[in-house]
């Protein structure tokens, strides 16, 4: 369940497994779109604010949900009301796909309790990468990131999480863009994504401006 939307902004969510290119593309897209639109970049999970720092230090479904609720109410919602394009780097699907923690009943109940706060995205960009490249990328950060180390040591978790993501996103097919960043040029990916989002944005603005009959 999502909170109903009454605003002129656009919420674009970037989802996908760790080290699949979400943040890189989101930052590149921000630069590509900011000359034409009012754009706001938001880090959803593990941000630099107090709740994000606490969630990184003491990882738990409750703290991640609390951080995301704060981001939704005080970052996303106000900027949507101002008519901005929100580039949301990770959202509630990140928490709901986090294996093995999501297998615990208490965590499933927590997500269900927080879900009414979260906004329904206008567009979801889902990132994937080949297992070999993902492992190679994860190895670069595994010494400073315990979860990345766990993924490298148990690649089955990567497969299970991707399965969970696909299950969660299956109900969003009409607003889903799939980006495979295996062996790709980041600049080309950003350019392609910017064109898709620009087209989507223009269509949505036209629809909003059409008179009701």
- Work out the percent of the chain whose per-residue pLDDT is above 70: 92
pLDDT digits (tens, 9 = 90+) for 73-119: 999 999 999 999 999 999 999 999 998 899 999 999 999 999 999 99
Residue 209 lies in a domain: no
Q: With left for phi above 0 and alpha for psi between -120 and 50, is residue 182 left, alpha or beta?
A: beta
Residue 6 lies in a domain: no
Q: Look up the CATH number of the domain holding residue 25.
A: 3.40.50.300
pLDDT at 58 over 60: yes
Residue 44 lies in a domain: yes
- Cβ atoms of residues 86 and 9 within 8 Å: yes
Residue 11 lies in a domain: no
pLDDT digits (tens, 9 = 90+) for 13-35: 999 999 999 999 999 999 999 99
pLDDT at 184 over 90: no
- Cβ atoms of residues 88 and 12 within 8 Å: yes
pTM: 0.90
Residue 4 lies in a domain: no
Helix, strand counts (H, E) of the chain: 10, 5
Encoding tokens for residue 164?
């969970």
The residue segments making up the domain with residue 38 are 18-202
Residue 167 lies in a domain: yes
**Number of domains observed in the structure of the chain:** 1
């Amino acid at each position: 369940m999502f909170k109903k939307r009454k605003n002129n902004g656009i919420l674009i969510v970037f989802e996908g497994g760790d080290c699949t290119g979400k943040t890189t593309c989101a930052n590149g897209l921000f630069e590509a779109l900011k000359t034409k639109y009012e754009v706001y970049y938001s880090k959803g999970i593990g941000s630099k604010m107090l709740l994000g720092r606490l969630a990184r230090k003491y990882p738990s479904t409750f703290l991640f949900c609390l951080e995301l609720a704060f981001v939704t109410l005080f970052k996303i919602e106000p900027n949507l009301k101002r008519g901005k394009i929100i580039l949301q780097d990770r959202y509630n699907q990140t928490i709901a796909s986090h294996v093995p923690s999501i297998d615990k009943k208490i965590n499933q109940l927590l997500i269900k309790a927080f879900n009414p706060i979260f906004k329904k995205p206008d567009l979801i960009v889902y990132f994937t990468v080949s297992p070999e490249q993902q492992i190679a990328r994860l190895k670069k950060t595994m010494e400073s990131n315990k979860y990345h180390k766990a993924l490298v040591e148990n690649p089955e978790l990567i497969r299970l999480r991707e399965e969970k993501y696909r299950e969660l996103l299956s109900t969003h097919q009409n607003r889903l863009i799939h980006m495979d960043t295996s062996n790709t040029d980041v600049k080309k990916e950003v350019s392609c994504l910017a064109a898709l989002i620009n087209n989507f944005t223009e269509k949505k603005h036209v629809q909003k401006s059409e008179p009701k009959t």
